[in-house]
Amino acid sequence: MSRPVFAELAGQQRVADSLIAEVDQGNPTHAWLVTGPPGSGRTTAARAFAAALQCTQTPAGCGQCEACKQVMAGNHPDVSFVSTNKVAYQIEDVRHLITRAQERAGKGKWRIIIIEDADRMTERTTNVLLKAIEEPPAMMIWILCAPSPADVLVTIRSRCRAVNLSVPSATDVADLLVRRDGLDPQMAQFAARVSQSHIGVARLLARDEKARERREKVVTLPLRLSTLPQAMAAAAEISTLASEQAEAMTGSQLNAQIAELRHANGLGEEEHIPPGLRGQFKSLEENAKRFARRATFDALDRTLIDLTTFFRDVLSLQLHSGIELINEHLRDKLEPYAASQRSEKTLAQLDAINETRQRLAANVNQLIALEALMARLLPKPGRR
């Protein structure tokens, strides 16, 4: 039977049961590696596990005691959530964590450090962390989160207990959105399907009409490609859509952080910033710029994943697979497109998108990479 703190972990009952058993036996392993595809709930699982470990009630993981509430809200004094808005963690970041790990728990049973996106650690940075994981202080637990075990150096993963999350079903994600967020069941099911069970993306699509419109523009883009000038224009359009999505995310976050800093220092919304505080505000803005670069990459990658769903559906129709279409609402447009070209061309188009994602991850020029991709997505002359 699952515990309340795991209620937001969609479709991962096996994982929840395993973590609960570890909490109940009272002597958990000191280092954990939680892996799973983007949107599967890695951080949610780590947070729920930490809450159950700190819970003051029996059975643990009640979700109602002060410790559970603080961990789930991210403000428990003995549980640290660590993330980065940079491309990679810096050595200084990890050294700071190691210092924090030496501190004894002040309120809870354990000192817990959760590192999100541990795959963003370089080899040098990971080696700094290694000794701390090998020789942890008493009552100290590390929880690292990454997309897959292969994304973390073997020296680290060999010292961690593995927790592997699977892709939840669209039904599980939709049920979570209805239960947790009070969303319309039909909209929740649609969002879960087109997001391919990415919980965060599904929630965004279900709640934000503009996000749905952006996705629709991307997914239907191949229907508007027939000439090279159109391909070049499409590349610029995709770049703009990704930038708009990233700006919407980073702009609201920066405004919230500035407002919080003003409030903490007793400054009104329009009040002049004293010279002694300008450095803090400038640091916020610089961090926001770094985050914007990462957010733009993430948004662009998500855009290309959405584009992939179009050709995945086309290939499914060409092969008469009978598999449910991700973009079922576009079936009347997908079927003529599928009939207009051979499956070999569709496979080549899918390969082109995947190669472009890899090139963008290697930091090539964004617009040039997209222009090359759009040219490869053009139908063969004489087709369509």
Tokens (6 digits) for 116: 């999100």
pLDDT of 384 above 80? no
Give the residue-averaged pLDDT of 291-317: 90
Instruction: Tell me what pLDDT residue 291 has.
Output: 66
Architecture of domain 4-164: 3-Layer(aba) Sandwich (3.40)
Give the residue-averaged pLDDT of 105-115: 92
Calculate the average pLDDT of the chain: 89
Cα-to-chain-centroid distance, residue 67: 26
Distance CA 246, CA 31 (A): 33
**Per-residue confidence band for 146, with pLDDT thresholds at 50, 70 and 90:** very high
pLDDT tens for each residue of 187-245:
999 999 999 999 999 999 999 998 999 999 999 999 999 999 999 999 999 998 888 77
Give the residue-averaged pLDDT of 15-28: 93
pLDDT tens for each residue of 75-84:
899 999 998 8
pLDDT of 53 above 90? yes
pLDDT of 286 above 60? yes
User: Apex CA 166: angle with CA 143 and CA 26, to 5°?
Assistant: 40
β-strands 31-35, 161-164: how paired?
parallel
Instruction: Tell me what pLDDT residue 85 has.
Output: 72
Give the number of other CB atoms < 10 A from CB of residue 109.
16
Q: Is the pTM of this model over 0.85?
A: no
Tokens (6 digits) for 284: 């916020």
pLDDT of 175 above 80? yes
Pure H helices in the chain: 13-25, 42-54, 66-73, 91-101, 123-134, 154-157, 170-181, 185-194, 199-207, 209-219, 228-264, 278-318, 331-339, 343-361, 366-377
